[in-house]
Structure 1
Amino acid sequence: MTSLPSALPPSEDDAARHHSAHGIGPTVSPDTFKALFRGHPGGVAVITAEGEHGPVALTASSVSSVSVDPPLMIFSISSLSSATPTISAAESIVVHLLDADDVDLARLGATSGVDRFADTSTWSRLATGEPVYHGVRAWARCAVVSRMDAGDSTVIAAQAVQASIGRHVEPGDHGNALVYHNRSWHRLGEHSRFE
């Protein structure tokens, strides 16, 4: 019988942290929590919305499918992003699901202080008004159905109401997938497959 690895010993910082919210008691430090997820890769998406002052976009690695009937996804957005107030308030958004061919868009959405819509040849508005980037692997226009404050982020649940797939991924194929892992972009391929 194999034994499971024991939990990491708490750091002094962890031992000193206490939160009384919900009676949880001591919690791990932000640095320890980041270290937990540093080795946990995530798929990459860019989320767009139309706001009072124009379109906004941000890159997220937290998008997950939670239901196929109805077609629901969730993601979280940090309060630190300038796009968060607009996306949090939007009734509809576009979630662009990226592959490695879209890494430049992923980088653009993750860069602070730039106009993510300066190149008007790369995007347009749907008939319903939401901004959509051209040529991505896939996108879904979604109706926002739920919002929840979660620490320094907002968790959003959205239902897909329209979709476009530019590059299909066949069952079992790696599909040139783009993942974010340990602060860098990675392409999945045959070399990374376990049989």
Structure 2
Amino acid sequence: MTISDIDTGLSARFRDAFRGYPTGVALISATGPDGPAGLTASSVASVSVDPPALSFSVMGSPSARVITAAPAFVVHLLGPAHADVARSFARPGAPRFTPEQGWLTLPTGEPLLRDAQAALRCRPLHLLPVGTSTVVVAEVVEVLLGVPGDRLIHHDRTFRTVDAPKGH
């Protein structure tokens, strides 16, 4: 057994462990020199309430490079109605930013999914390279709340709906 065999086994078990861990689904969008870019993320987390800040991680995809280079981006927290949009932004070459998906452009230039459960306009504070990924810590500068509803989660490589608790 070589070190690369050990690393490969550890990486595979690490992926398997997180496939069994359900997470919320977000879509992150920004505008770059060649137009809008976006990706689906399941790593968004609240970091601080005062000041409002969040974090997420991205890999080195073309969309991730646009987002990490942008002066601002929007983190959309998605509900079940956005499962198809989340799938499109998770697959390279799938349709993105189509009128049918419900995109607008904010006065500041970032793409906005108009019916997201919440949209958080952010400015990057820190970019931390970790292996093949980058952890982004961002200041939230604006919050646009949509209509609350059921939850969209990512679990075992599938988008699933979870009913919201009664009274919410």
Q: So what's the TM-score if we normalise by structure 2?
A: 0.89
- Report the counterpart of residue 135 of structure 2 in structure 1: 155
Distance 1:126-1:85 versus aligned 2 partners, 3 A rule: same
Please say if residues 145 and 157 of structure 1, whose CA atoms lie closer than 8 Å, have aligned partners that are also in contact: yes
Distance 1:61-1:31 versus aligned 2 partners, 3 A rule: same
Give the drift of 1:160: 0.9
CA distance in 2, matches of 1:36, 1:92: 32
Distance 1:13-1:167 versus aligned 2 partners, 3 A rule: farther
- Report the counterpart of residue 122 of structure 2 in structure 1: 142
- Report the counterpart of residue 156 of structure 2 in structure 1: 182
Letter in 2 for 1:65: S
Give the drift of 1:119: 2.7
Stretches of structure 1 lacking an aligned partner (at least 5 in a row): 1-11, 19-26, 169-174
**Structure 1 or 2: more strand by fraction:** 2
**2:1 corresponds to 1:17:** no
CA distance in 1, matches of 2:30, 2:2: 39
Stretches of structure 2 lacking an aligned partner (at least 5 in a row): none
**2:113 corresponds to 1:133:** yes
Question: What is the 5 A alignment of 1:113-124?
Answer: 113-119=93-99, 122-124=102-104
Higher relative contact order (CA closer than 8 Å, sequence separation 6+): 2
Deviation readout 1:91-138 (Å, 9 max, x if unpaired): 110000011122122112112113412337721211111111111111
Percent identity reads 39
Please say if residues 13 and 29 of structure 1, whose CA atoms lie closer than 8 Å, have aligned partners that are also in contact: no
CA distance in 1, matches of 2:16, 2:3: 13
**Structure 1 or 2: more helix by fraction:** 2
Q: So what's the TM-score if we normalise by structure 1?
A: 0.77
Please say if residues 92 and 141 of structure 1, whose CA atoms lie closer than 8 Å, have aligned partners that are also in contact: yes
Give the drift of 1:15: 8.9
Number of equivalences: 166
Letter in 1 for 2:104: S
Point out the structure with max Rg over C-alpha. Answer: 1
Question: What is the 5 A alignment of 1:16-35?
Answer: 16-17=5-6, 29-35=10-16
CA distance in 1, matches of 2:81, 2:98: 20
Distance 1:75-1:83 versus aligned 2 partners, 3 A rule: same
Partner of 2:116: helix, strand, or coil? coil
